Structure 1
């Protein structure tokens, strides 16, 4: 088996990350996850590996994290995301896709539906209403997604995001 190489650059105290995430919807809800030691949530996904496309990354991550094969839909956002986390300044290039999750993956409108030990993190997944109010209350960066969740872009949008602020320049 070939060695896996994630696309990340560690330049202490800064770090670059190439992350792919998916927005999966069911019954007016969107799937989110978090590491149990963190207060915030995020959309499921992970770091790309050298030699794989962003769609391949999303498919691989969902098999690893959810145990299901997803169908990757349109690319919604390409985000240059700059933020501070765990005492580091991060520069993240994020691709956010719409994805279809198989119907046999568990659904419940309020409860945790899936748990997973992933490296040093315990992850939990749940469905949350796909509304601006619900995502804002949940604390799910990057925050512009909460603002746009009810009217997803019809074509791919490129955004630059600085620690919670959209750069409109």
Structure 2
């Protein structure tokens, strides 16, 4: 049986107490911008590429924030992922308006940090990481859901 594994990079873009999130149209869960790291591509280069592909913007990928290991179930198969997290900044977005996606299957929106618990953000340890990083930018994080039960939010 195939064991799906995903090596991902995600960007935490913070502006005025808000974080940029994405959602696949028709799905309840949200996620951070980013995506798969291609073979022989650095994590920072992958995140810059993903931001350009998804949002059509140039960005600066700066501080390494941490790692989140996560698992979920799709069509009965357990998937595992490793998410590398970096801070992202850009002058091309303003948190007053939700940015338009360049990809038809996803949409972007700003979520106030105080409302992050209601955002259905996955992997869910990101909620705690984002709140903590907002108050202390000198921390790095490692979280894992690999030894936890897969809940209803992580089955599709």
Q: Give TM class, smaller chain.
A: 0.7 to 0.9
> Is the partner of 1:115 in helix, strand or coil?
coil
* Superposed displacement of residue 79, structure 1: 1.9
Report the counterpart of residue 95 of structure 2 in structure 1. 107
Report the counterpart of residue 156 of structure 1 in structure 2. 140
Instruction: Tell me how far apart the structure 2 counterparts of residues 113 and 86 of structure 1 sit (CA, whole Å).
Output: 31
Q: Deviations over 1:42-93 (max 9, x none)?
A: 0000000111100000000001111111111211111222222343201111
Instruction: Tell me how far apart the structure 2 counterparts of residues 16 and 45 of structure 1 sit (CA, whole Å).
Output: 16
> Is the partner of 1:73 in helix, strand or coil?
strand
Pick the structure with more helix per residue: 2
Instruction: Tell me how far apart the structure 1 counterparts of residues 74 and 106 of structure 2 sit (CA, whole Å).
Output: 18
Determine whether 1:116 maps to 2:102: yes
- The structure whose RCO (Cα within 8 Å, separation 6+) is larger is 2
CA RMSD of aligned residues (A): 2.1
Count of equivalent residues:
146
> Is the partner of 2:39 in helix, strand or coil?
coil
* Superposed displacement of residue 36, structure 1: 0.3
Report the counterpart of residue 128 of structure 1 in structure 2. 111
Give the TM-score of the pair, scaled to structure 1: 0.77
Report the counterpart of residue 141 of structure 1 in structure 2. 122
Instruction: Tell me how far apart the structure 1 counterparts of residues 21 and 66 of structure 2 sit (CA, whole Å).
Output: 17
Pick the structure with more strand per residue: 1
Instruction: Tell me how far apart the structure 1 counterparts of residues 100 and 147 of structure 2 sit (CA, whole Å).
Output: 29
Name structure 1 gaps, 5 residues minimum.
Answer: 1-10
